[in-house]
Structures are given as structure tokens and as C-alpha cells.
Chain A
Amino acid sequence: GENVEQHPSTLSVQEGDSAVIKCTYSDSASNYFPWYKQELGKRPQLIIDIRSNVGEKKDQRIAVTLNKTAKHFSLHITETQPEDSAVYFCAASKGYDYKLSFGAGTTVTVRA
């Protein structure tokens, strides 16, 4: 099955700095890569996703890049703010098997 590895497990950044989280996946058939944000005590919520026919996608302060050859994808958060503090999960899916395989999560702390 699909194996998704996520690094780092924790990340502390100064407010206004950038944060980068990296994920690798094992199954070259995976074609959908979402990122979820989970605030303390809340549900995971989709913040951005990318499909295998696209190399980069941006939405305001967040961006995701995908390198299919190397089988890795990354989340970039610029101009971090305290409300960006949360656990971020990457995931990968082949689509046809209905399954999302999640990374282990990255706890991001933005210091004021």
C-alpha cells in the first residue's frame, strides 16, 4: 500500500517567517495530494490540494509543489501568523481506491 512520510514532525517559526513541510510517497500511481490543517481540538480541514498534472498551486499565503519524478510534495506557508499554528497533514491518493493515506503530521508553532 501507499506509504507517506512527512518531515519535520515539529516546526517552530517566528511570525512573519516562512514554513516548509515536506512529504514523500511510495506509490507512483498516486495522483491526488491534499493538505489538511487541524487546529487544537478541531477537525482536520482541507487547505489546499494538487493533482498530478500540475507542478505548483498557490492560494494566497500557501502554496504546494509536486515533483512526480522524485515522488515528493511540499507545503509552503509565507508570512506566517499566529493563527497558522496547528498540525498539518499531507496525504496521497490514487483516487480509484477511495483511500487517503496520511503522513504523520507536522506541529507548526508560530512565535509572536
Chain B
Amino acid sequence: DTAVSQTPKYLVTQMGNDKSIKCEQNLGHDTMYWYKQDSKKFLKIMFSYNNKELIINETVPNRFSPKSPDKAHLNLHINSLELGDSAVYFCASSQAGGLAGDIEQYFGPGTRLTVT
């Protein structure tokens, strides 16, 4: 069973379009994340949700909107796509954060977004 899954794996689209990426985890984790990995491999946190509540919202254009319908799902919707949005987007989950510090993160397989 795949622990953290994402769809689609590849996404090619034109500038100006709107697209969504879906993420699901079956680990029973409380916290989910979205990362962007650019062409230089740098991993940058974008958003995090804990029990459906937004807890991390980094400096990301408001064209990006996360949505967590329940704690097993975290989707990412992107409006008006731009060339610079081309990257690999990873979803991740962890059991808990907080004082437990137990935030080992499990990553999904990634979605390679190409904007033309």
C-alpha cells in the first residue's frame, strides 16, 4: 500500500490555466505539507495543515490555494499558471509536530508540473 500518494504524476499545461494536484495519506498522520522543488533541487515548504487547520503558510503567491477536506487529504490548486511555477511538487505527512518533535516526514512520489 502506498503511504502517501499524489495525482497526477506528470502535469503539462499552458500559461494561464488553472490546475489541481491531489494528495492522500493512509498513515493516519495529523499533519500534511506541500513542498516545491525547483530545478536546482531546493526543497521549499509552501503550506502545512494540522487536522485540517492551516499552520504554515510561507511566502507563496495567492494563486496557490491549499485545501484539506479531511486530515488524510491535502490538495493544491493553482490559478493562472506561470512559467516559473514549473517544478516538482511534493506532498508529505507526519504523525505530529508540536512539543513531541516527532515530525519525521513521509513524502509522496511528487508531481512534475511543466508550464509551457
Residues of A whose CB lies within 8 Å of any CB of B are 31-32, 34, 38, 42-46, 49, 51, 87, 89, 93, 95-102, 104-105, 107
Stretch at the interface among B38-46, B67-75, B79-87: B38-46
Decide if B98 touches A95 in the complex (CB within 8 Å).
Answer: yes
Query: In the assembly, what is the distance between CA of A101 and CA of B99, in Å?
Result: 17
Q: Does the CB pair B99–A96 fall under 8 Å?
A: yes
Which residues from chain B sit less than 8 Å from chain A, CB to CB?
31, 40-45, 48, 50, 55-56, 90, 94, 97-110
A-B contact count (CB 8 A): 65
How far is A46 from B56 in the complex, measured between Cα atoms in Å?
21
How far apart are A9's CB and chain B's nearest CB, in angstroms?
9
Q: Which residue of B lies closest to A102 (CB)?
A: B43
Q: Which of A34, A99, A101 contacts B104 (CB 8 A)?
A: A34
